[in-house]
A and B are shown apart, each in its own frame.
Chain A
Amino acid sequence: MSIRHALLALLSEGPKYGLRLREEFEAGTGEVWPLNIGQVYTTLQRLERDGLAESDGEAQDSPQKRFRITEAGRDELFSWLRTPPDMSSPPRDELVIKVLVALRIPGTDVSALIQVHRRYLVELMQQWTRIKEAQAEHDLALSLAVDAELYRLDAVVRWLDAADGRIRRAAVLPPPPARSDLPRLKNRSGVTP
């Protein structure tokens, strides 16, 4: 989330002084917003310049200056909220690559290797769950942020489980047909055969 949109979101609750914005920004960052206090004031200036926020026009750069969101600012905020982030081309996944590489190294116990990663992920999930257990029952924002981490890690564990199952099944199946008979993936990336 950009500082720009974080500030617009805070201003959408009502007009606020620069100092208060800075405090709320700091308090609200914990799990959701990136913390870079230094940029709060320069970003406010830019919001004003772009007509997304306006101020009382008192002393320049004073923490006492009061800001409010404009109609254009609201439009910008809601347009940002509705725009899906780009998830079409995920980053190259290091764990996937490690498992694929392991498959090519003779004598590797891929199941044992998968377990090393599975255990690490479950240990991380235990820590996140402790946070949820200790603090989050009534803290909705923190619950949601912790859930996001848990689901993300859970998806990786599930992939490892699925990979483990496939690899075990493949070990007892007859060898695959020659490579040239196989359909090719277009624009295949990752490990080159």
Chain B
Amino acid sequence: MTMLELRRVSKVYGQGPAQVHAMREVDLAVEPGTMVAVMGPSGSGKSTLLTIAGSLEEPSAGQVLVGGQDLAALSRNDKARLRRRSIGFVFQDFNLLPGLTAAENVALPLELDGVSARKAHQAGLRELDALGLADRAAHFPDQLSGGERQRVAIARAVVGGRQLLLADEPSGALDSANGDVVLRMIRTACAQGVAAVVVTHDAQLASWADRVVFIRDGRVIDQTVPAPGPESLLGQHR
């Protein structure tokens, strides 16, 4: 089943002459296990796309389906539950809570969803362990490097088996070696079945994706075709 589907989604802010068309009839489908990058300059509508896909905002027109469920058919509470259970967000500036340890940050979404503190903490530890961060579990965010903070944020985004990862410039604040580690982690999550949508202006970040969708003035204008294997490049050098 398609994990995320946008059908002719439009978003208009403001009215009359002050109207801004942030998204215009955008179609997008993201399958489980794939990473899609939405690439465009600032003001192209890519952040709006992410908030609408994450049910944080409603489209002016069109349909958004998460895991086959039409968001328009869900009550406020159902949407909030869907966000807690199925969708994880990652932002450029990590957004970890400074008063909680790494494990507590990762466990938080489960606790908010009614899981007992002990079980949530165990799940948090498991997630950190799976992502190679077990030794950082008891550290507070200000004791972690930028790269580690973002990896904790990704663990928090996928904890409890959430299947849709929405990321806004996830490596934007990191140097390239740390950025690579974060992107490798997102790829690992995808290999385990997560569907990821990453919005960015950065071609190097976008190049980690299985598919790059180009967005301009709120419209999808183009997308990459599946690349041939890496052998085609190495061949030139051997």
Contact = CB atoms under 8 A, between A and B. Distances in A.
Contacts of B118: none
Contacts of A63: none
A115 B203 contact: no
A65 B206 CA distance: 51
A190 interface: no
B178 to A, nearest CB: 13
Interface in B189-238: 201-204, 206-209, 212, 214, 216, 221-225, 227-230, 232-234, 237-238
A161 interface: yes
Contact of A132 (B180, B202, B223): B180
A122 B238 contact: no
A118 interface: yes
Contacts of A115: 214, 221-222
Contacts of A131: 230, 233-234
B184 A127 contact: no
Contact of A150 (B39, B201, B204, B228): B204
Contacts of A29: 238
Nearest to A160: B203
A122 B207 contact: yes
B39 A147 contact: no
A119 interface: yes
B203, B206, B228: which has the most chain A beta carbons within 10 Å? Answer: B203
Given A115-B221, A165-B41, A121 B230 contact: no
Contacts of B207: 122, 125-126, 128-129, 150
B238 A126 contact: no
A147 B176 contact: yes
A58 interface: no
Contacts of A154: 202-204
B116 to A, nearest CB: 37
B237 A118 contact: no
A126 B230 CA distance: 9
The binding surface of chain B is classed by DSSP as mixed
Contacts of B201: 161
B237 A157 contact: no
Nearest to A161: B41
B212 A126 contact: yes
Contacts of A51: none
Interface string B168-194: 000000001000100010010000000
Contacts of A153: 203
Most buried by B among A111, A126, A137, A151: A126
A50 interface: no
B203 to A, nearest CB: 4
B214 A129 contact: no
Interface in A11-49: 29-31, 35
A123 interface: yes
Interface in B58-115: none
A165 B216 CA distance: 11
B208 A129 contact: yes
A51 B176 CA distance: 42
| A-B complex: 5 closest residue pairs judged by Cβ atoms | A125-B207, A157-B203, A129-B207, A131-B230, A126-B207
Interface of B: 39, 41, 176, 180, 184, 187, 201-204, 206-209, 212, 214, 216, 221-225, 227-230, 232-234, 237-238
Given A30-B237, A118-B214, 12 more contacts: A111-B216, A115-B214, A119-B224, A124-B233, A125-B203, A125-B206, A126-B208, A127-B227, A127-B233, A130-B227, A131-B230, A133-B184
23 contacts: A30-B237, A31-B237, A115-B222, A119-B212, A122-B203, A122-B207, A123-B224, A124-B233, A126-B208, A126-B209, A126-B224, A126-B227, A127-B227, A127-B228, A129-B204, A130-B229, A130-B230, A131-B234, A137-B184, A150-B207, A153-B203, A154-B203, A158-B203
